[in-house]
Amino acid sequence: MAQERRKGRTLGFIPTMGALHPGHLSLVRAARRENDRVAVSIFVNPLQFGPSEDFRRYPRPAARDRRLLEQEKTDYLFLPSPRAVYPAGFQTTVEPGAMAEGLCGRFRPGHFKGVTTVVARLFLLAAPDRAYFGAKDFQQAKILGRMVRDLGFNLKMRILPIVREADGLAMSSRNAYLTAEERRRALGFSQALALARRRMGEGGQNLAALKRVLVSYLIRQGIQVQYVEWADPETLEPLKASRPRMLLALAGYVGKTRLIDNAIITAFRGRKK
Amino acid sequence: MAQERRKGRTLGFIPTMGALHPGHLSLVRAARRENDRVAVSIFVNPLQFGPSEDFRRYPRPAARDRRLLEQEKTDYLFLPSPRAVYPAGFQTTVEPGAMAEGLCGRFRPGHFKGVTTVVARLFLLAAPDRAYFGAKDFQQAKILGRMVRDLGFNLKMRILPIVREADGLAMSSRNAYLTAEERRRALGFSQALALARRRMGEGGQNLAALKRVLVSYLIRQGIQVQYVEWADPETLEPLKASRPRMLLALAGYVGKTRLIDNAIITAFRGRKK
């Protein structure tokens, strides 16, 4: 891509693991609007999966992904082999810091290190002017933004809103794992976020108390809760007391499928608890 | 430096901690020969010093360094502040792998992680076509070469030979710490390398036996030995049996000053032990 830059053209880049859905395509469209050229990579990155996670069965609908990207007029599609990404003797990693310890980091040891390492490598390969990530993986996007600042990548991070199904379910490649019944249960996540927003809007509430309400709610919907956390949207540090702007992040299993969701919750003004 | 690249000019880059000596200047001259522009950074990197190491007293002869670089017609001199290198909230590091575990890595925990992190950051800042390192810090140079391949930095690593004083002492900014008497003792390192080269040239020798000879030799010269190691020059894995081409690496204290030295030793052909 260096030749595009030499020609003064800007490049927008969207690193993905494929199994593209409207969330990914919203990133491609944003990149299309903001750059002269758009590059997408599809690479199911073994380094970011734990040994008991779904690396092998992760969906890989290659022909469909390709067709969708052609429709979106993607200029460059990278489909690197694992050997191209991780050369023989590979051993250097990019390690995130404290921001990778909480939330999903607590349940997926090594996951974010796999993400920062592969994205650093892809950034060096693609040399984009802007890189696009979805807010669905909020912690990932913030860790990568931190990496960009810490190591000094010369690009702008763009984090775009979560794209949801009509009924509220956050788009995810892993939704494909769900049975019809699990699909109904999975709605609990977005409903819990709506419930939290309502409660906070009604005049704020003790975060710990509301967390207990949300955990109960998710359990009643048939979700095996991994975490319900209030966090600072920039540092991802856990919050004990209400703030004007908070991240509420949820994770849990529906059957064998691990799903996450999140929202930025604005607390009722003029009152703090 | 991106503008130089856009103009089709090549950039050679030498990251240093200052206290420049003829070893550094040999790198600047090589960069001068091989590139249109030369950039040198001087940054005493806190991240690569252990808590009990010499970060505070490391020599910082700023005016002299500047004069030397002007004499060598350096085009760009970077003198970043710690805050510029490590922004507020900094937490992302570049972690070397197995190559950082042996040799100096065993005695300086975290040192090479400090080196890979700062050099990755400086590479992203300077965006050089070629980067120059001295073979004196052989393990460092090889770890950085591995980093360049693993993360895909678009530059060529150049490792230049150790520059020595007339009597054999390897040039080092830390030689400035030595008293006249310590300076004499420090000659033990290069003499031990010469002894090893002689013995191996005479028909090879059991590596473990020769190591014992070298350790004794260094101790007799008044050096407090940290390690004497035979290693594969590419992977840095320790060697138990002789090979045609081997790294012999030495480290130890002369008084309170830690010094290192090394050589590539070629074994006598036609015989293996």
Q: Report pLDDT for B225.
A: 98
Q: Note whether B146 contacts A99, CB cutoff 8 Å.
A: no
CA-nearest residue to A121 within chain B is B151
Shared fold status for B2-160 and B173-266? no
The average pLDDT across B87-115 equals 98
pLDDT tens digits, one per residue of A33-73: 999 999 999 999 999 999 999 999 999 999 999 999 999 99
The average pLDDT across B185-201 equals 96
pLDDT of B167 > 70? The answer is yes
Active-site residue A111, yes or no? no
Q: Note whether B152 contacts A124, CB cutoff 8 Å.
A: yes
Alpha-carbon gap: B132 to the closest alpha carbon of chain A (Å): 20
pLDDT tens digits, one per residue of B10-54: 999 999 999 999 999 999 999 999 999 999 999 999 999 999 999
- CATH number for the region B173-266 comes to 3.30.1300.10
Q: Note whether A151 contacts B92, CB cutoff 8 Å.
A: yes
For A70-89, the three-class secondary structure string (H helix, E strand, C coil) is: HHCCCCEEECCCHHHHCCCC
Residue written as token pair 């700062």: B118
The average pLDDT across B124-153 equals 98
Q: Which residues of B touch A99 (CB under 8 A)?
A: 91
What region, left, alpha or beta, does residue B102 occupy, with left being phi > 0 and alpha being psi -120 to 50 degrees? beta
What is the share, in percent, of chain B residues with pLDDT greater than 70? 96
Q: Which residues of B touch A149 (CB under 8 A)?
A: 87, 89-90
Residue A92: which of B2, B150, B235 has the nearest Cβ? B150
The average pLDDT across B191-216 equals 92
Taken in order B161, B164, B166, B169, is the CA torsion positive or negative?
negative
Q: Report pLDDT for B273.
A: 43
pLDDT of B8 > 90? The answer is no
Alpha-carbon gap: B79 to the closest alpha carbon of chain A (Å): 16
Domain ranges of chain A: 2-160, 173-266
Residue written as token pair 């073979």: B135
Q: Report pLDDT for B269.
A: 62
pTM of the model: 0.95
Mean predicted lDDT score pLDDT of chain B: 95
Low-confidence ranges of chain A (pLDDT < 70): 1-2, 204, 268-273
Alpha-carbon gap: A95 to the closest alpha carbon of chain B (Å): 5
Residue A92: which of B94, B124, B127 has the nearest Cβ? B94
Q: Which residues of A touch B153 (CB under 8 A)?
A: 124
The average pLDDT across B77-93 equals 96
Distances (CA, A) of B21 to B17, B28, B141, B187: 11, 11, 18, 18
Fold of A2-160: Rossmann fold (3.40.50)
What are φ and ψ of residue A103, in 5° steps? 50, -125
Q: Which residues of A touch B86 (CB under 8 A)?
A: 150
Q: Report pLDDT for A130.
A: 98
